[in-house]
Amino acid sequence: MSIKDKIINYNNKMKGNTKLIAVSKTKPIENVQEAYDAGQRLFGENKALEMRDKYLALPKDIRWHFIGHLQTNKIKYIAPFVELIHSVDSLNLLTQINKEAIKNNRVIDCLLQIDIAHEETKFGLDDDSAKELLESEEFSQLKNIRICGLMGIGSITDDKSKTRQEFKHLKELFNCFKEKYFADCDYFSEISMGMSDDFEIAIEEGATYIRIGSSIFGARDYVSKN
Ligand SMILES: *Cc1c(COP(=O)(O)O)cnc(C)c1O
C-alpha cells in the first residue's frame, strides 16, 4: 500500500477526539510530501535539526509536533514554529522552552511525558515528580508555556493487558491533574499515547493523539542514517 493510501486508511480509523500524527523521523522530504498530498497536516519528529530542515523545505501549513527527547541547547531550532512539544520531562527543560518562547514572542504548548512503562531506555517523569513540577513556584512563573496534557510511551511487549494497564493509568493521571490543577483550563485536553503496535488499545483508552511512524512510512533504517 502507498503512503497515500495508508494515510487515508489511518485517518478513516480516527474517531471522536483522536488525531493522527504521522511520525516522519529519519524519512525523506518526498515521503512527507506524499503524506501531505494525501491531506495529512500533523507530523511528528524527534530530532530538532531534522524537524527544522523539514519545516524549511515543506509547505508552511504543516503542523509540527516534537516527540523525542529534547536537549535544551536545541530548543531554539524549533521554538519559532513547533505546534506542540510532547516530551517535556523536567522543570529545567520547561524553563528553557519558556525562555525561547519569550524570544519568539509566543506561547509554546507542551505535554508532560510520563514514564508509564518503567523501562530503563525510556524517558519521562514519574507521577510524583510530575505533581511536584505542577505545584512548584517556578512553574507558576512560566507564562510563555502551556501544559496541554500528558504523553506516554507503552512498553515493548506482546502482553496487551500490560499495555492497556499503562494507557489506563495515563488516562487516570490525566483526569486527576485535570481536576486538581487544570479544572478551568480548556486547553488541558490532550492525551498522546499509542504507536504502530498499540494504537488500537490507545484509542480505546482515550488517546487524543496517536503517533504512527513505521506502519505508514515503512521500517526506519538507522544504520545508514548515522
Ligand atoms: C518513533 C516514535 C513513534 C512512532 O513509532 P512507530 O512504532 O514507528 O509507529 C511514536 N512515538 C515516539 C515518541 C517515537 O519516538
If you measure from the C-alpha of residue 104 to the centroid of ligand 1, how many angstroms do you get, rounded to a whole number? Answer: 28
Residues 67-121: tens digit of each pLDDT: 999 999 999 999 999 999 999 999 999 999 999 999 999 999 999 999 999 988 7
Quote the CA–CA distance of 6 and 189 in Å, as a whole number: 27
The alpha carbon of 136 and the centre of ligand 1 are apart by a number of angstroms equal to 31
Mean pLDDT of the chain, nearest integer: 96
CB 54 within 8 A of CB 73: no
| Residue ID of nearest Cα to ligand 1 atom 5 | 213
- pLDDT over threshold 80, residue 21: yes
Q: Residue 222 pLDDT more than 80?
A: no
Q: What's residue 99's pLDDT?
A: 98
211 Cβ inside 6 Å of ligand 1: yes
Q: How far is the CA of 162 from the centre of ligand 1 (A)?
A: 18
The protein residue whose alpha carbon is closest to atom 12 in ligand 1 is 67
Per residue in 185-211, pLDDT (tens digit) is 999 999 999 999 999 999 999 999 999
Tell me, in angstroms, the distance from the centre of ligand 1 to residue 220's CA. 10
> What is d(CA 20, CA 40) in angstroms, rounded to the nearest whole number?
8
Q: Of 42, 70, 78, whose CA–CA distance to 209 is shortest?
A: 42
In short, whether 194's Cβ falls inside 6 Å of ligand 1 is no
Domain ranges of the chain: 3-217
pLDDT band at 226 (very low <50, low <70, confident <90, very high): very low
Buried b (16+ CB within 10 A) or exposed e, 169-187: ebbebbeebeeeebeeeee
Q: Domain spanning 3-217: which CATH class is it, in words?
A: alpha beta
| 156 DSSP 8-state letter | S
* pLDDT greater than 60 at residue 225: no
Is any atom of ligand 1 closer than 6 Å to the C-beta of 196? yes
pLDDT (tens digit, 9 = 90+) per residue, 120-168? 877 899 999 999 999 999 999 999 999 999 999 999 999 999 999 999 9
**46: confidence class by pLDDT, cuts 50, 70, 90:** very high
Query: Taking residues 6-34, what's their average pLDDT?
Result: 95
What value does the mean pLDDT take over residues 174-193? 98
Give the single-character DSSP code of 154: -
Q: Which residue has the cell 524527534?
A: 46
Q: Which atom of ligand 1 is closest in space to residue 196's alpha carbon?
A: 9
- Whether the model pTM is above 0.85: yes
pLDDT value at position 42?
98
pLDDT at 3: 97
